[in-house]
């Protein structure tokens, strides 16, 4: 791994606007316009995630993007040009150079083979990861969904949310941090999956006429557990490719109850207006409820959950009927 001092030196040299909390260095996205410090870098591991552009990777990949140079050149840059340090200072054996190669068909499957399906009924009480995973799942009432856990490697001590359709193998996943320290989500890179996270809609039913659109998978899962068709856009920014897939759907925007969520609805609506002849609605969360999983936890029955949605529906431009789904 790269020395922490060198990671910090590079970050401070390149990003004058920053905020540091513990081992997390945050600054503005390098891929998109951003003034809310959506790029987070762990100065201990060098792993980073851009929550604005939905990109993630290791430190040489970040240097490659910042400098506009190939990955191998970024490695050489880190070894010699930037810090003028001898190569023996760098242990790059753990850096996954193969991620720069074209994605293999089974690349995600290979990573998934290191994960374990989490069984609430047979969790290990002596394992901190198992205890945290059990607490997380039960506290969010998500025990009907099949999660995985990682106990070693890059995704160690994280809850794995698999993206798969039916009985097919996972084509993507999100790794949710189970502690309060570190980056909340660590996602596989495009080089591994062969697809950008911003191109993905999950879960997704092509034959459904209407769809609730959320920011993250746990909110979409919460809506589905209450009998509603839902998908997530991997954040509050709808991409062009996602909008294209949704152009024939009747959409209910169900983003988080915060500034980013409200801005996301405006951005998504404006994009969909250029593609979708249907009308849209916004499902407004009750006051004090931050997202749809929190509402799911609050409600004891699906009927109660749906009543909140019915009462909170607001038309965007015009309205359409979604009452059949809510009955």
Residue 137 C-alpha from the chain's centroid = 17
pLDDT at 139: 94
Pick the CATH number of 210-326 from 3.40.640.10, 3.40.1360.10, 3.10.129.10, 3.40.50.720: 3.40.1360.10
Q: What residues does each domain of the chain span?
A: 4-100, 108-195, 210-326
Predicted confidence (pLDDT) per residue in 94-133, tens digit? 333 322 333 444 578 888 888 999 998 888 888 888 899 9
Q: Is the pLDDT of residue 88 over 90?
A: no
Residue 286 above 80 pLDDT?
Answer: yes
How far, CA to CA in Å, does 171 sit from each of 52, 94, 174, 200, 212? 22, 24, 11, 10, 22
Across 38-42, 88-92, 244-248, least confident range = 88-92
**Mean pLDDT, the chain, whole residue set:** 80
- The predicted pLDDT at position 171 comes to 87
Q: Alpha helices of the chain — where are they, by DSSP H? A: 4-14, 59-67, 71-76, 107-112, 128-139, 190-193, 217-225, 240-245, 259-272, 292-298, 302-312, 323-326
Specify the pLDDT at position 1: 61
Region 158-183: mean pLDDT is 83
Q: How far apart are CA 17 and CA 90, in angstroms?
A: 27
> 217-250: buried (b, 16+ CB within 10 Å) or exposed (e) per residue?
bbbbbbbbbbebbbbbbbbbbbbeebbebbeebb
Lowest-confidence range among 36-50, 280-294, 312-326? 312-326
Is it the case that residue 137 has pLDDT exceeding 90?
yes
Tens of pLDDT, residue by residue over 200-251, are 888 877 777 788 999 999 999 999 999 898 999 988 888 888 888 888 788 8
Tell me which CATH code domain 4-100 carries: 3.90.580.10
Q: Strand 39-42's sheet: what is its strand order?
A: 19-21, 24-27, 39-42, 48-50, 55-57
Tell me how far apart the alpha carbons of residues 116 and 283 are, in angstroms, rounded to a whole number: 35
- Strand 148-150 relative to strand 116-117, pairing: antiparallel
Does pTM surpass 0.75?
A: no
């Amino acid at each position: 791994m790269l020395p922490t001092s060198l990671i910090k030196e590079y970050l401070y040299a390149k990003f004058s606007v920053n905020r540091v909390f513990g081992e997390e260095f945050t600054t503005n996205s390098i891929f998109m316009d951003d003034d809310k410090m959506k790029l987070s870098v762990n100065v201990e591991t060098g792993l980073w995630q851009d929550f604005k552009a939905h990109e993630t990777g290791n430190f040489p990949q970040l240097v490659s993007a910042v400098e506009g140079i190939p990955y191998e050149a970024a490695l050489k840059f880190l070894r010699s040009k930037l810090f003028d340090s001898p190569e023996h200072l760098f242990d790059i054996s753990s850096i996954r150079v193969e991620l720069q190669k074209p994605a293999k068909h089974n690349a995600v499957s290979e990573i998934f083979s290191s994960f374990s399906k989490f069984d609430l009924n047979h969790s290990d009480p002596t394992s901190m990861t198992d205890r945290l995973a059990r607490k997380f799942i039960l506290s969010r009432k998500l025990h009907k969904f099949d999660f995985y856990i990682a106990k070693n490697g890059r995704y160690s001590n994280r809850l794995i949310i698999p993206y798969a359709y039916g009985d097919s193998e996972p084509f993507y996943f999100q790794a949710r941090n189970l502690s309060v320290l570190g980056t909340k989500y660590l996602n596989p890179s495009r080089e591994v999956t062969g697809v950008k996270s911003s191109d993905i809609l999950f879960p997704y039913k092509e034959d459904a006429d209407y769809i609730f659109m959320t920011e993250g998978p746990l909110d979409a899962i919460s809506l589905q557990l209450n009998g509603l068709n839902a998908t997530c856009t991997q954040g509050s920014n709808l991409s062009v490719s996602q909008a294209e897939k949704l152009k024939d759907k009747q959409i209910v925007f169900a983003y988080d109850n915060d500034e980013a969520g409200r801005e996301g609805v405006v951005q998504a609506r404006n994009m969909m207006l250029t593609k979708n002849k249907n009308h849209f609605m916004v499902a407004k969360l009750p006051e004090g409820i931050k997202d749809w999983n929190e509402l799911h936890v609050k409600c004891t029955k699906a009927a109660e959950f749906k009543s909140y949605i019915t009462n909170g529906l607001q038309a965007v431009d015009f309205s359409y009927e979604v009452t059949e789904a809510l009955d």
